[in-house]
């Protein structure tokens, strides 16, 4: 099981090594020319930043799987894992957001399905239906939900560290999407959703909903 502890996500290290070496070499021979790769190095380190988060504690809480802005909260049908009626919460991540994905609940990963697709801008309403997408079904001791990682126009690489059968702690990092994207939550009817379109959320901290009794 992958538990990221670095200040920069490991998925970003190959980019940083390449840009760091290129910047150093150019600096030796042509200092002005090193500005571009040096700037890209700093931006890449910023994009792949991997901050710690304070996970809220409480029974039946569902927390945000990503940083960003809530684009939509809507009723939908999902048969493959959710088994029918559910609520979909769509979160748009700009290129400036933290792109680490975190587990919204503690539970066992019982479903993973990768779907190839297109690369429309993630904020487009129909991008979820046709873009490249990774589905992750998690079952807690009280309910099940699904998280999806959706690529965008710039984001063309989904990273998922987990596999079916793994256990996730709430707030645990399980993957990321490179360079701008969308993350979705499919919630069962027994979850009261506490966010609405336009709300800003933080992965691992913001409460998206809670189990009603």
pLDDT of residue 2: 47
Q: Are 38 and 5 in contact (CB under 8 A)?
A: no
Pick the CATH number of 61-211 from 2.70.70, 2.60.40, 1.10.3470, 2.30.30: 2.70.70
Query: If you average pLDDT over residues 46-53, what whole number do you get?
Result: 87
pLDDT, mean of residues 142-149: 94
Question: Which H or E element spans position 19?
Answer: helix 13-29
Mean pLDDT of the chain: 87
Domain boundaries of the chain, sorted by first residue: 10-47, 61-211
Catalytic residue among 34, 90, 128, 181: 181
CA distances (Å), 3 to each of 75, 92, 96, in order?
33, 24, 23
b/e code 14-40 from CB counts within 10 Å (16+ = b): ebbeebbebbeebeeeeeeebeebbeb
Catalytic residue list contains 181: yes
How large is the average pLDDT for residues 189-212?
Answer: 95
79-88, 98-107, 153-162: range with lowest mean pLDDT = 153-162
> Could you tell me if 150 and 181 are in contact, meaning their C-beta atoms sit under 8 angstroms apart?
yes
pLDDT tier at 105, thresholds 50, 70, 90: very high
**pLDDT value at position 73?**
96
Task: Check residue 185 and report its DSSP letter.
Answer: E
213 band by pLDDT with thresholds 50, 70 and 90: low
Chain centroid to CA 87: 18
DSSP 131-167: B-EEEEEEE-SS-EEEEEEEE-SS---EEE---TT-E
């Amino acid at each position: 099981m992958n538990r990221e502890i670095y200040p920069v996500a490991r998925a970003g290290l190959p980019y940083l090594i390449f840009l760091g070496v290129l910047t150093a070499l150019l600096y030796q021979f042509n200092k002005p020319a090193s500005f571009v790769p040096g700037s890209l190095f700093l931006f890449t380190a910023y994009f792949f930043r991997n901050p710690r988060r304070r996970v809220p504690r409480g029974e039946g809480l569902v927390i945000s799987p990503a940083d960003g802005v809530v684009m939509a909260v809507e009723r939908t049908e999902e048969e493959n894992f959710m088994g029918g009626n559910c609520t979909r919460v769509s979160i748009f991540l700009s290129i400036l957001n933290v792109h680490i994905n975190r587990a919204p609940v503690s539970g066992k990963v019982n479903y993973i399905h990768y779907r190839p697709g297109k690369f429309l801008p993630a904020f487009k309403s129909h991008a979820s239906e046709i873009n490249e997408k990774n589905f992750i079904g998690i079952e807690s001791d009280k309910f099940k939900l699904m998280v999806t990682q959706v690529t965008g126009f710039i984001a063309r690489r989904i990273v998922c560290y987990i596999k079916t059968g793994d256990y996730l702690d709430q707030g645990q990092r399980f993957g990321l999407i490179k360079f701008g994207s969308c993350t979705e939550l499919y919630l069962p009817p027994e979850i009261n959703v506490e966010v609405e379109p336009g709300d800003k959320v933080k992965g691992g901290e913001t409460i998206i909903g809670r189990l009603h009794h």
